Structure 1
């Protein structure tokens, strides 16, 4: 009998061969076929089922990996190398790195995989067979998250014969929601009340120099907000005060004005960190883009529009960038902590985001890449921006980080992360 390690290696080889075969199918010519593509429809259907089967196979690998890591960490606790409270930390991070997603997504996927394996075997079976999508399986997990394991298994049995595979997305999601509700109506109500404590407002970048401001609110409050904004817009249109603005534009402007207390939406008084290359400053007609830190590139014309239409005070701070890479290279410091201008330079260089590969979380800590206790310098090249999670994870046994390029030469600031399994991942600072 082969060991688990040998089975794992064989599976990896098979998956590599499967990936190569799928690559061949992807590279087939797309010329029209004489029979109208009857066989291709069957191929499309089979490949769609393969999506679910692949997700289920990945779930199995995640659960197995997590169990192995927990056993390893338990041994480290017994040896006095790890705080018992840290058991489980870093597992989702490694999954995220392997899947090229954030650690939050990696942990969420692991959570879904565990629930499907332990409490929802019938739903998982549908996923293995490719009869439902990964998204629907995740929806089942989310809708049953408030239930006890026994109740979740009861939902699983009922969904097994509910015909989810023959339903459209919305119908299937409603079936899942209704089934979960019927199993524990009181719990469903309590869940709704608890969810109201999670109300919040978030901001994320959007294409074309825009942003998305989102509010997670109790339903009656959300309805009241949009109704008030639309009513105001309709009144301006009715009285002819709207000018050339559309209803949606008036709604958006009114939202900004009422939240900030500004007279007009363009009367911005917040600090915007716009990084401009030197040629854009010297040549007013230059088409070289700048960057709004944390949001992405800004064309020169848009920058001019922002500066022309806002009443924010304009001030300058000299930053030094490498002429080839465009990366920030100034701001050395002999201090122990990353604060003041040095912290600001790290935030700008790292675009306001955690420098662990594939992590999109905002910077909450500026820390030494090489630990301070090991002689790591408190400098721009020796520090990086971290989210809270990765600042804690890097202290776990087996995690190592080192600077590959300090960013002062022809290469951008580059950091290599090594996980407890020996896999390495690289993070480069953008210009």
Structure 2
């Protein structure tokens, strides 16, 4: 394996160091370009297959070590997906998906594994095969895998949509009952979620049975068409979106909805003197003008609060401390704002669910802002597996930093996102937390008063 590792590193060095001239307006080189693109794509697939094999070996090794350490059976393997995710610069959820795929390829999907190694299938399409055959027992799964992915001629030129349709047909033919059970399980997992979108927007998504989803869309569509036929000037999509908000919230107008927003912004952004964006934890940057509009609209008439935490001139949010094991509500809110609502584990985009001790409380870790970090549930549980260590680290950025050492000895560092800095404040001043409520005039006055008192 060390020899293979050296070879992989050498190949990477060649790809990084080799200056590939795009050779504009050189038709003579087009055939070579296309061949190289195809060869690199097959190389990527082969690399994914090798990563899957290594992942299975890592899982088996960790489970064996944990078994020798008398770790309970149900907890064996904890931390493997997180280790894989960090190594592949992916989220822990993605690491769990990749671990599951690796196990499937090693046991139930030999033809898919071969097709991946030979470059006839990429990793995404291999995941499609695993997903669409997951409801079958092992024997039926192996048969469907061989019929679809074992036939190179059949697989060649097959689009992803066609691949999904073919797998579903063959899965249903092999075991109709299992497919019906999968559908019933999917119906039981119906839900509604919200996630960030660019420009201060958000996606509100309902995962529904198809007839219900189509009925909801058709109702909004008909209502929007009726409104526009009556002279409504808004676009059809705008009317549908506003109608959805009004019907879900019971408000007469889409804008008149009670909200609570954690908005981290500098005084310059608030008062219009600075174009620096504000930040909504868990959502990302918001243009200064949009943030000011959010503040202005957060009036008593809208029954909305906008809570802001200000940074000191060095860019640090104000810390708090407690002797309790669990973080107080105020400290938990502070951590969520400092870490901007997103899990601190590198490459993890999941929302914060736990105020986690960097050094475990049982090992003497204090409950204060410096020794706490915001983590999602999966990352919090993963770091409790044997061999995981964390510590608060010094960082040149001055921001809160945590260094994680995995059981395999790899080290990763996470930094708290940089908060907006106040403008025009002497370096030796430190601002206290400011929690301001409507109306807007009171908020602005309070901000200025806090500056004078600092």
TM-score, length basis structure 1: 0.91
Match of 1:46 in 2: 39
Contact map agreement 2:91 2:349 (CA 8 A) in 1 = yes
Contact map agreement 2:260 2:304 (CA 8 A) in 1 = no
How many residue pairs match? The answer is: 414
Q: Over residues 130-154 of structure 1, what are the superposed CA-to-partner deviations in whole Å (9 max), with x where a residue is unaligned?
A: 0122111110100011110001011
Deviation at 1:15, TM superposition (A): 0.9
TM-score, length basis structure 2: 0.87
Match of 1:143 in 2: 132
Q: Which range is displaced more, 341-350 or 315-324?
A: 315-324
Q: Which runs of 5+ in 1 are unaligned?
A: 1-7
Is structure 2 residue 398 aligned with structure 1 residue 411?
A: yes
Deviation at 1:422, TM superposition (A): 1.1
Q: Which runs of 5+ in 2 are unaligned?
A: 419-454
For the residue of structure 1 that corresponds to 2:321, the secondary structure is: coil
Match of 2:225 in 1: 234
Match of 1:186 in 2: 177
For the residue of structure 2 that corresponds to 1:203, the secondary structure is: strand
Deviation at 1:286, TM superposition (A): 2.5
Deviation at 1:109, TM superposition (A): 0.5
Deviation at 1:393, TM superposition (A): 2.2
Match of 1:341 in 2: 330
For the residue of structure 1 that corresponds to 2:121, the secondary structure is: coil
Q: Over residues 110-148 of structure 1, what are the superposed CA-to-partner deviations in whole Å (9 max), with x where a residue is unaligned?
A: 111111121111121111110122111110100011110
How many Å separate the matches in 1 of 2:51 and 2:288? 45
Is structure 2 residue 85 aligned with structure 1 residue 92?
A: no
Match of 2:186 in 1: 195
Match of 1:420 in 2: 407
For the residue of structure 2 that corresponds to 1:336, the secondary structure is: coil
**Matches for 1:226-375 after TM superposition, within 5 Å:** 226-240=217-231, 242-243=232-233, 245-281=234-270, 283-309=271-297, 311-313=301-303, 319-324=309-314, 326-375=315-364
Deviation at 1:173, TM superposition (A): 2.3
Contact map agreement 1:394 1:400 (CA 8 A) in 2 = yes
Deviation at 1:314, TM superposition (A): 5.7
Assess, with a 3 A threshold, how the Cα gap between structure 1 residues 143 and 289 changes in structure 2: closer, same or farther: same
Assess, with a 3 A threshold, how the Cα gap between structure 1 residues 288 and 149 changes in structure 2: closer, same or farther: same
Over aligned residues, Cα RMSD in angstroms?
A: 1.9
Deviation at 1:370, TM superposition (A): 1.4
Contact map agreement 1:205 1:295 (CA 8 A) in 2 = yes
How many Å separate the matches in 2 of 1:410 and 1:361? 24
For the residue of structure 2 that corresponds to 1:344, the secondary structure is: helix
Q: Which range is displaced more, 45-54 or 227-236?
A: 45-54
How many Å separate the matches in 1 of 2:73 and 2:179? 34
Q: Which range is displaced more, 410-419 or 28-37?
A: 28-37
